A and B are shown apart, each in its own frame.
Chain A
Amino acid sequence: MTNIMEIENLKTYFYTEAGIVKALDGVTFNIEEDVTHGLVGESGSGKTVTALSVLGIVPSPGKIVDGRVMFHGENLVEKSDKEMQKLRGNKISISFQDPSTSLNPVFTVGSQIQEVIMRHQDVTKEEAKKAVIEILETVRISEAEQRYYEYPHQFSTGMRQRIAIARALSARPEILFADEPTTALDVTIEAQVLNLMQELQKNFGMDLVMITHDMGVIAEMCKRVTVLYAGRVCETGDVRSIFHEPLHPYTTALLTSVPSVLGRIKRLAVIPGTIPDLIYPPPGCRFHPRCTFAKDICKQEMPDAVEIKKGHKSACIRIDEIKGELLSRLKQAREEMESE
């Protein structure tokens, strides 16, 4: 497997009045070619900031302070704004979480997609318009020719999300970062969007990075997964390996604390406490204040993810000692679901 993108030790800090928010503090993972990659984590874990950093659109007062993003042999972090503009939309694209705020309310949806096409391709207005209608049809907007002239508020939430995806795809990027594309959608609409994304991925041959907090979406869509917590990578590996043999207490906690449609767990595991303040992140492993396995050593060193088994890296120092316990907790929860 070749990597299409390699993210190394990426650090993005926000220089706020209250202090420096270390939103990403040394994030390292690879995105393989032709494999859907999942980025999981709660709010504040750095999923979105990772995508924004890769695209070079970290909002002020944020700055990439260190690290590399390698794409086709080039380091994107070092590129100028002008150079990045040429790549954005064209090679790397993003669809934002909330289409009701990411689409401009005062322009027609047609013109918003057309803008992307005209910026990257040498086409006339008529040709661009034709391409817009075509892509609207691909995302199953019916009567695309009339709807080209309509404004975002005239569409339902599910349709708006599909339009946002259409816009992100309109210049045929190689990688699409989809930021929580189905959060806040009803399950039936979620199914529409997920189906569509799989279809588009097949037809366009692009690589997809799914950013989500929903383990269900990860399981259904992704082949590789990276779990983020408080701006650090907890573990990264193959989806089946992550679900069946998680190598980090945080992942196990996520898998046993979230209700599942498969059955009832006798008592949901609770991750005590809340996500840390990233201005003063806890020393050592970021998860240790909430981790039931934490020992003194966890407070001392900030661990990097190292390969534990083939293709599966974990950033837990004590993983060899606790592996068995993690597995039995997961098994117990799964058995409860089935025996219900």
Chain B
Amino acid sequence: MSKQDVILSVTDLQKYFTVVSRQIIGSKVTGKVHAVDHVDFDVYRGETLGLVGESGCGKTTTARTILGLTPASGGEVLYNGEDLLQIWEKGSKEEKMKYRRKLKLVFQNPWTSLNPRMPVKDIVSEGFNIHGLVEKEDARDRLYDILHEVGLEPYHAERFPHQFSGGQRQRIVIARALSVDPEFIFADEPVASLDVSIRAQILNLMTDLQAKKNLTYVYISHDLSSVRQICARVIVMYLGQMVEYGPVKAIFEEFQHHYTEALMKAIPVPDPDRSRERIVLWGEVPSTINPPGGCRFHTRCPAAQEKCSKEQPPFTKAKKGHYFACWYPVA
């Protein structure tokens, strides 16, 4: 893996939200939410990296922070060697535009992420018009090309979002992201809100587009089956921190962290003959306002010992490219 070309390098990324409570006069900061807490990872050009974990673990916030949709509290993000966080903070308009074009986000819910009052042609062509990527007379050809790429027809261009099914809407969302020739796409639960028979269409479309355009994906999901299907590497997050990362097969079959084990053994397996021991984590996910000390998972971990509540485990190498943060690993 190390020989591969690193396109995005995230180092010590932090994002805290302050909790403010109103006083009689003014207001007071009473705490902070540790949404993303010291996250480090690299993404290689052309790969699909999965970001998994329960809701509230910081998957989406990680993406939003990298994309500059919310300012980071600390850390460094290098995209092809350029410091993205600096650009979002004090770059010129041209610089910001350049990177907004290269990195795109595909949203979770196509029922809310499309403007109901814009026809598809405007939704899709807005991007390349703003970025000035085509001459006026070529705009229509470009629009049809993009629609064709995502499996829509030219006559769809005049229609409005409500005239489409969920799967088609998600195609429009993807078309909008592709319209500016991005290199890097964050896909935030792109199939979560779709019917099961439609999911395969969208997942296949994403795979095809990636091969054709050499796109790099960060695929954010809590649906582990789809992660198994399309990701090459996976990062498992818990309460704003990474707990384990590695090649997809290693994460699904040779997991070392007890949280990963619990996730993997919780998924219902579509095979009636395979009876697996289901690990049930009772208790709720702790608050990220005052996260537990030591290993964040120790309050729910079946193998927790005294050390776990005191010292935060460092990342340990399991094998090439596979790391975990646990004092008493599974195997």
Q: Which A residues are within 8 Å of any B CB, using their own CB?
A: 42-43, 140, 156, 158-159, 186-192, 194-195, 213-221, 239-240, 243, 253-255, 257-265, 267-271, 274-275, 340
Contacts and interface: CB of A to CB of B under 8 A. Distances in A.
Closest 5 CB pairs of A and B: A216-B268, A259-B229, A191-B266, A268-B200, A257-B200
A257 B267 contact: no
A158 B284 contact: yes
A254 B198 CA distance: 10
Given A186-B55, A271-B197, A191 B222 contact: no
Contacts of A43: 195
Contacts of A255: 270
Contact of A187 (B201, B229, B263): B263
A194 B197 CA distance: 24
B268 A254 contact: no
Interface residues of B, number: 43
A42 B284 contact: no
Interface of B: 54-55, 165, 167, 195-201, 203-204, 207, 222, 224-226, 228-230, 248-249, 252, 262-274, 278-282, 284
Nearest to B266: A191
A186 B248 CA distance: 20
Nearest to A187: B266
14 contacts: A42-B195, A219-B274, A220-B268, A257-B196, A257-B200, A258-B199, A259-B229, A261-B225, A261-B252, A262-B269, A264-B248, A268-B200, A268-B204, A271-B200
A42 B226 CA distance: 17
A242 to B, nearest CB: 8
Contact of A259 (B201, B203, B280): B203
Contacts of A189: 54
Contacts of B280: 188, 191-192, 195
Given A42-B197, A259-B230, A261-B269, 19 more contacts: A187-B54, A188-B266, A188-B280, A190-B268, A194-B278, A195-B280, A217-B268, A219-B272, A240-B272, A259-B203, A259-B229, A260-B228, A260-B270, A261-B228, A264-B229, A270-B204, A274-B165, A274-B167, A275-B197
A243 B278 contact: no
Given A188-B54, A220-B268, A259-B226, A340 B203 contact: no
A219 B229 contact: no
A218 B279 CA distance: 18
Contacts of A42: 195-197
A219 B282 contact: no
B246 to A, nearest CB: 16
A216 B270 contact: yes
Given A216-B267, A260-B270, A254 B197 contact: yes
B303 to A, nearest CB: 16
Contacts of A158: 284
Interface hub of B165, B203, B267 (most chain A Cβ within 10 A):
B267
A264 B271 CA distance: 15
Contacts, number: 129
Nearest to B53: A186
Contacts of A254: 196-197
A219 B222 contact: no
A41 to B, nearest CB: 9
A190 B269 contact: no
A108 to B, nearest CB: 20
Contacts of A159: 284
A129 B216 CA distance: 57
B266 to A, nearest CB: 4
Contacts of A191: 265-266, 278-281
B222 A270 contact: no
B191 to A, nearest CB: 9
Nearest to A214: B268
Contacts of A187: 54, 222, 224, 263, 266-267
A257 B55 contact: no
Nearest to B196: A213
A262 B271 contact: yes
B199 A219 contact: no
Given A186-B55, A264-B229, A195 B278 contact: yes
Contacts of B284: 156, 158-159
Contacts of B279: 191
A219 B281 contact: no
A188 B270 CA distance: 17
Contacts of A258: 196, 199-200, 225, 270
Contacts of B207: 267
A262 B249 CA distance: 10
B271 A219 contact: yes
B203 A268 contact: yes
A215 B284 CA distance: 26
Contacts of A218: 270
B203 A215 contact: no
A32 to B, nearest CB: 16
Contacts of B269: 216, 219-220, 260-262
A139 B273 CA distance: 28
B207 to A, nearest CB: 8
A274 B198 contact: yes
A261 B54 CA distance: 17
Nearest to A45: B195
A243 B207 CA distance: 27
